[in-house]
A and B are shown apart, each in its own frame.
Chain A
Amino acid sequence: MTPDTSAYYYAAYVLASALYAGYVLSLWWRASRLRK
């Protein structure tokens, strides 16, 4: 029987997305600070 491991799958995708989004936000924030 296939085990229910979906919680790990969701957690990995959410955390990875948060990491990439955080990095993009940091680029945007640093660029906007330099433009001011």
Chain B
Amino acid sequence: MNPKIKFAIAGAIIASVIAVSLVSNSESLFSLNDTTTRADVVRIGYFPNINHAQAVIGLGNGDFQKALGNVKVETQIFNAGPSAIEALFANQIDVTYVGSNPAINGYIKSDGESLRIIAGAASGGAVFVVRNDAEINSVDDFSGKKFSSPQLGNTQDVALRAYLLKNGYKTTENGGNVEVIPVKNADILTLMLKKEIDGAWVPEPWGAKLVKEANSRIFLDERDLWPQGKFVTAHIIVSTEYLKNHPDVVKKLLAAHVDETQWINQNKEESFKVFNAELEKLTGKTIPEDELQEAFSRMEITYDPVKESLFKSASDAFDIGFLGDVRPDISGIYDLKLLNEVLEEKGLEQIP
């Protein structure tokens, strides 16, 4: 086959690809991917974190499995929001506990089709910690400083950048003089100890840990920035496919979640012990009692998704430049119908 013919064939293929792209506006015409969901299995993801306490305890000690009866519970552990969202998209899990910003990203990226938030899991539990010797006494002292968040684009990362923006600072990527370095929580501790960063916006129990071990103090409790000190830091999302096909399973899961939430709030001391026991099974490590106490003092285990705080957080993320050029519409992200059914049946106040 002489080169000219090859070029011609290549040209033809490329031309048709371009034509198809322009015509179909980047939508697939068919949907051959495997979206099967099963009624007898529910695959649940969660993190070994204290703001997924209901899952750590309930999935660890069998409470959830009991509530779900014949439906087999399969679990998967994640350490970061984006991986949980990826797994959801790839139909490897059906439901997951996750932070607020990853859920927003996933919703937008799938044009609102792939997921719904069906309940809250935790509110509060994030603090802005600074080193005692970093010479930061007020918001006027941030110039030239370095701060960390646990991950680019996650809930605390957005909170930190929004806070900086609100107080007139720009990050170095945008020509400003405050550097934001997203680093894993464990590394944040190291960098604080090495004095390589001046502060960090972190979720609990890292706030408590940094104060105890890294010669730092809480500059700002994020609750102070929100009405009634409530803002969502963890919630439950489900794939729309699964929700559509198996609402009964989802409802049973929500009932278990609500029950676990109640139990934790009514048995604080014991729940700490159980949590640590389950955590040790998952990670081989536990959180010291005093840190747990302190961490919990700044957060709430709840089933309330605190909708308004999510919308505000999305708006902040857009202002920071994370969500593209068009202010996104995430009004359809919540589906609390089943949660409210559960609450009503239990005689609890519903979420509006």
A and B assemble together: no
Residues on A lying within 8 angstroms of B by beta carbon are none
Residues on B lying within 8 angstroms of A by beta carbon are none
